[in-house]
A and B are shown apart, each in its own frame.
Chain A
Amino acid sequence: MLIARILRLLFNNKNRLRPYMKKVIFSTLAVTFLLLSCKKNKEYNSSVLADLTVEFDQVAGSSDLDLNTGSYTNAMGQSFNVTKVKYFVSNFILTNTDGTVYTVPQDECYFLIDESDLSSHMPLLKVPEGEYKTLSFMIGVDSLRNTMDVSQRTGVLDVSGAAADMYWTWNSGYIFLKLEGTSPDVSAPGNIFKYHVGGFGGYSSPTTNNLRTVMLDLTSGGTAKVKSGKSTNIYLTVDILKILNGTTNITLGTPTAEVHSPVAGEPLANNYASMISHDHTEN
């Protein structure tokens, strides 16, 4: 009814509308029509699961991270190189532009990013078709999974497999992040520093909790438009300098070149909480 009336207004010569009003209404209609047709092309079926990759690209400040060979400088002015960067990411949650929230199922939400293994840099998620405006995930392995039955610890969580290098046997729990390297400023043998951060809050007595949640707004870098039959990649940069520089600027080798307890790892966790940022989305 309304459309009929507008049309009559537009095309009836005897109407009292001024010419510019005619133009306004006409262009509004055209734009609406275009928008409607656009939407039709991009129609999402939220009951269909489609591929979404999240790429973790390790960088050091403004340069790409080169394991072993690259030389970098921390906020304390110490030069160092990096021999190992590994960390767990888990519990992915996405918010659709329509406000609905999708939580990636527990059994598919654990990934181990290893700088030395390119195939580990792009976790593949299955999410309902839709346009997503925020992405959040955890750095580390949540306390529930950390205390789960051994039969539930498969894939990257297998303590005989991928997680063998990321698990404290003597203080049951996953290591969330490892940063290892060398620096002339470290006096330990081989100038080696090893920072291993873990601690999910303790089983029976409360201990340091080094789990950190990363919350990323995708709107400025590009929302993720997920649809089956196409690939969508949320490209994140992970600045490993920020593990050392941040709330606490870490001095390599002081007080120790070896961090292996939850409490000693806390300053590093506070730093790495903000090491990841959204660069762009490849739709």
Chain B
Amino acid sequence: MNRKIWLIIFLILAGIYACKKEPFGAEFFAGFQKPSNFPEPAYHFSTNTVTKNGFELGRKLFYDPILSADNTISCGSCHIQTSAFTHHGHTVSHGIFDQLGTRNAPPIMNMAWNTSFMWDGGIVDLDLQSVAPITNHVEMGETMDNVLNKLRNSQEYPALFRKAYGSEEINTSNFLKSISQFTLMCISSNSKYDSVMRQQDGKTFTLEEEQGRELVTEKCGTCHTEPLFTDFSFRNNGIGIGLFNDEGRYLITNNNDDKFKFKVPSLRNLAYTAPYMHDGRFFTLETVLDHYASGVHDEPTLDPILRQNATLGIPLTTDEKTKIISFLNTLNDKSFLLDKRLSEQ
């Protein structure tokens, strides 16, 4: 009897002790979790485990304009959660001193599955992604060195870095990895489509959505492959050379075959991410479908899929367009826009 009591007391004490020994921020935080209908992520979690404190630090950094030269622009300025982390309504974004860029801000979602970043795929490691907008003179126009110094001299950040990494040292690596931790957690996987795929809550497609899905698979599926609705490849979809004469992937590879190719964007959350294309030239989904049906320009690097049987583009009837848009609407994930964990606190 006595023994049992002592054993129980010991177990309780051990439990309390074990709780205390938990790694930074492990309590009540599930970390990165792969949705069951998603493939294995591409990100290197082995060198950057997502922790509660690391994620929260990353979130604070993401929403902090201290990262820009004049302390006016944060990452969140052009990646707004209510627009699935895009700059809704802006063809291209404006940075410090209202300077304009040349490309449409892409959504920050499902970053862990991306094999490259930016419209031209010039960045291959998510950890090095944020250096580009921070130092771009028309975006945040700051130097990395100065950002780190501002953080070191701030009232709050040294303590937050200690919470996340066990030391107040603020360096390139832990700064960039925190931002990665936040963006890695921007997972959009709760659209109607996902529920149907996971057979959740008895959700099913309507007949029109089902027919739309078949059309998307048949006519769009080579590039916009399920379940992420992109194959992460670079293609010229025949929209014609834009205002900025942006040569896309060519700027990275210097290979003439890559001229005017851009990364295939995901079809998720389209309802919130207009305008479309790398320069935001199309304002509605109908315009995008009209482009594929009848507006494709022939160019030397045009994707061969859009030049089959001597016809340009993808033949689409009005009825088919309606069905496709009906299916695309099942890819909208409202919960992603409302997820408080991802909002500015």
Contact = CB atoms under 8 A, between A and B. Distances in A.
Interface of A: 147, 149-151, 153-154, 158-161, 164, 167, 169-172, 202-208, 261-264
Nearest to A266: B254
A263 B143 contact: no
Nearest to A207: B253
B318 to A, nearest CB: 39
Contacts of A208: 254
Nearest to B252: A171
A158 B132 CA distance: 15
B173 interface: yes
B123 A160 contact: no
A244 B175 CA distance: 39
A206 B145 CA distance: 31
B195 to A, nearest CB: 34
A153 to B, nearest CB: 7
A147 B124 contact: yes
A202 B125 CA distance: 13
Contacts, number: 83
B198 interface: no
A147 B125 contact: yes
Contact of A164 (B122, B127, B143, B253): B143
A204 B115 contact: yes
Given A169-B135, A171-B251, A207-B255, A160 B172 contact: yes
B127 A150 contact: yes
Contacts of A151: 47, 173, 177
B254 A170 contact: no
A46 B280 CA distance: 64
Contacts of A170: 118, 122-123, 132, 136, 251
13 contacts: A159-B144, A164-B135, A164-B144, A167-B131, A169-B128, A169-B131, A170-B118, A171-B122, A171-B123, A172-B128, A203-B124, A207-B255, A263-B254
Interface in B119-159: 121-125, 127-128, 131-132, 135-136, 143-145, 147-148
Contacts of A263: 254
Given A169-B136, A204-B116, A204-B124, A161 B253 contact: no
Contacts of B251: 170-171, 261
A150 B173 contact: yes
Given A170-B132, A172-B128, 8 more contacts: A153-B173, A160-B171, A164-B144, A169-B136, A171-B252, A172-B125, A205-B252, A207-B253
Most interface-central of A167, A169, A206 (chain B CB within 10 A): A169
Contacts of B127: 149-150
B239 interface: no
Nearest to B249: A205
Nearest to A261: B254
B223 to A, nearest CB: 17
B122 A150 contact: no
Contact of A262 (B47, B115, B144, B254): B254
Most interface-central of B131, B135, B171, B172 (chain A CB within 10 A): B172
B254 A172 contact: no
A205 B253 contact: yes
B176 interface: yes
B123 A159 contact: no
B172 A158 contact: yes
B203 interface: no
B341 interface: no
B124 A149 contact: no
